[in-house]
């Protein structure tokens, strides 16, 4: 993971696990909705995580109930540890210390590491009758996709704005 990703985790760990229900973010225990998911390489233990996309997903899709999962083994026993970590990590001083260590020690994945580690995305949609559909895709590493899409978006914006840009400040 990149230093930025790890620092974001430090900032949000005190808030616990979250899901979107009826358009609202709610806190849930770590073992909430734990299940086995085949992300594309065979079934693995997975559970909800408080991914940042939950904050925008409802507004982008209109879907009121969303859970984001990651490969993670949990049990009811794991519900006991996070409240302690969450309480401790509410301290601004501890967060600053953790971020300083991250800056010194975390370098993020290099190009070779990213090339070896694709991202597997799994999605499931269910209607009110309980009917569901599932899909899986494999993409290049998440960091690679983010950079590539940023450049593609900038290129598209540049082409669509050609002749209309009056001044650029750098």
Task: Report the 3 state secondary structure along the chain.
Answer: CCHHHHHHHHHHHHHCEEEEECCEEEEECCCCCCEEEECCCCEEEEEECCCCCHHHHHHHHCCCCECCEEECCCCHHHHCCHHHHHHHCCCHHHHHHHHHHHHHHCCCCCHHHHHHCCEEEEEEEECCCCCEEEEEEEECCHHHHHHHHHHHHHHHHHHHHCCCCCCCCC
- Tell me the mean pLDDT in the region 38-57: 85
- Tell me the mean pLDDT in the region 92-119: 90
Residue 11's pLDDT is 83
Residue 101's pLDDT is 93
Confidence of residue 112 (pLDDT cuts 50, 70, 90): very high
pTM, full prediction: 0.71
Q: What proportion of the chain, given as a percentage, has pLDDT over 90?
A: 16
Higher local confidence (pLDDT), 168 or 26: 26
The answer, yes or no, to whether residue 167 has pLDDT greater than 50, is no
């Amino acid at each position: 993971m990149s230093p930025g990703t790890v620092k974001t985790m430090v900032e949000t760990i005190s808030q616990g696990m979250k899901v979107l229900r009826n358009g609202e973010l709610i806190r849930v225990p770590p073992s909430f909705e734990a299940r086995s998911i085949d992300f594309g390489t065979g079934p693995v233990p997975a559970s909800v995580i408080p991914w940042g996309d939950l904050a925008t997903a409802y507004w982008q899709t209109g879907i009121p109930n969303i859970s984001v999962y990651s490969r993670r083994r949990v049990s009811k026993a794991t519900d006991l540890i996070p409240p302690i970590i969450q309480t401790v990590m509410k301290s601004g001083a501890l967060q600053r210390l953790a971020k300083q260590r991250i800056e010194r020690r975390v370098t993020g994945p290099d190009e070779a590491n990213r090339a070896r580690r694709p991202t597997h995305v799994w999605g499931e949609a269910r209607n009110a009758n309980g009917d569901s559909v599932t899909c899986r895709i494999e993409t290049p590493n998440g960091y690679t996709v983010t950079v590539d899409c940023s450049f593609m978006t900038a290129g598209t914006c540049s082409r669509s704005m050609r002749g209309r840009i009056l001044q650029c400040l750098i």
